[in-house]
Structure 1
Amino acid sequence: MNNEIRLANPQDAAAISQVIIQSLRQSNAQDYSAEIIAQVETSFSTESILLLLSQRQVFVATLDHQVVATASLDHDIIRSVFVAPDHQGSGIGRQLMTTLQSVARDANIKILRVPSSITAEGFYLKLGFQKIRDEFHGVERTIIMAQRLSPD
């Protein structure tokens, strides 16, 4: 299979939206209510993704030219890390995170932060992130995590 990690472009917006919504509905739904999932989904429509492309560095992972994962870097904050359910556990998320960490190091960022879902906390812990605190947006719990980057 042909695997690539690259910066996203506007033509990827619909596929990115689909990956995120699938992941929310299948993976995150184990830890969040249907109401929270529906609320979060509204932030990831194709139109919302197009806007995000102009605000932060959005990356995609593709397999055979199909978008199967996404993650973005917003200065020193990693956001919107999602892997299509059929590809979770295959190492694609780890590859995306390695790319974002490298981009952050190149930008001389010393500490990366990530607002993690309950679902992804274990993933980030395995990558060396540490829990800083919990934040609540209404009833939605987000775990703020951080990682000190060492120079390459």
Structure 2
Amino acid sequence: MEKLEVRRFDNNDAAIVSKIICRNFLEVNIRDYSKEDMKKLSEIYNPDKVKMVAGYAHMYVFCLDKKIIACGAISSFWGKEDESILLTIFVLPELQGKGVGRTIIETLENDKYFLRAKRIEIPASITARGFYKKLGYDYKDGVSKLDDEGHYRLEKFR
């Protein structure tokens, strides 16, 4: 794959990022979750919701030939200086498995929110759990059960 361009999210990116997220819910995550739940999430993750997340997190977009193909964000975890959380990590379905996700994680792990944190959490979907485990994230407190939102809580310590 050619070189990815990485840049910080701009509010003008919201519609495209929203589409990428919703395509993942409706084409990828739907294999592990109910159609109803994925439809609800895709209605929630409209451009305004994306802008809201970008308002409190450091959100990045990843581009090929100037076209946004992926996104990812990191934020302080509940305002803590020494804990952060990874959010909204999505890659166009047709480009998954080509190293883009790894580039997203590397980018987020070089962000100041990651570098200052002692602990980083990620709410992982059933679909993405194996990917994050490969990158060194493990079950929070050893608990390998889904939470009320249908995520595995994974964490990494620095």
- Normalising by structure 1, report the TM-score: 0.90
How far, CA to CA, are the matches of 1:145 and 1:106 in structure 2?
15
- 1:1-152 equivalence runs, <5 A: 1-75=2-76, 76-104=84-112, 107-132=115-140, 133=143, 134-137=145-148, 140-149=149-158
2:81 is aligned to: none
Per the TM alignment, residue 135 of structure 1 is displaced from its structure 2 partner at its CA by: 4.2
Amino acid paired to 1:109: A
Identity of paired residues, percent?
A: 27
Equivalent residue letter for 1:91: G
Q: What does the per-residue CA deviation read over 1:9-37, in whole Å, with 9 as the maximum and x for residues that have no partner?
A: 01110110011011111110100001110
Q: Specify whether residues 104 and 43 from structure 1 end up closer, same or farther in structure 2 by C-alpha distance, changes over 3 A only.
A: farther
Pairwise CA distance, 1:55: 1.6
**Structure with higher strand content:** 1
Please report the RMSD computed on the Cα atoms of aligned residues, expressed in angstroms.
1.5
Consecutive unaligned residues in structure 1, runs of 5 or more:
none
Following TM superposition, by how much is the alpha carbon of 1:136 offset from its aligned partner in structure 2, in angstroms? Answer: 3.2
Is the 8 Å Cα contact of residues 20 and 90 (structure 2) preserved in structure 1?
yes
Gaps (5+ residues) in structure 2? 77-83
Q: How many residues align?
A: 147
Runs (4 or more) in structure 1 with deviation over 4 Å come to 104-107
Q: CA deviation at 1:107?
A: 4.2
User: Residues 39, 28 of structure 1: CA spacing in aligned structure 2 closer, same or farther, 3 A cutoff?
Assistant: same
Amino acid at match of 2:98: S
CA contact under 8 A between 1:2 and 1:65: conserved in structure 2? no
- Please report the TM-score for the alignment, with normalisation by the length of structure 2: 0.87
3-state DSSP of counterpart to 1:102: coil
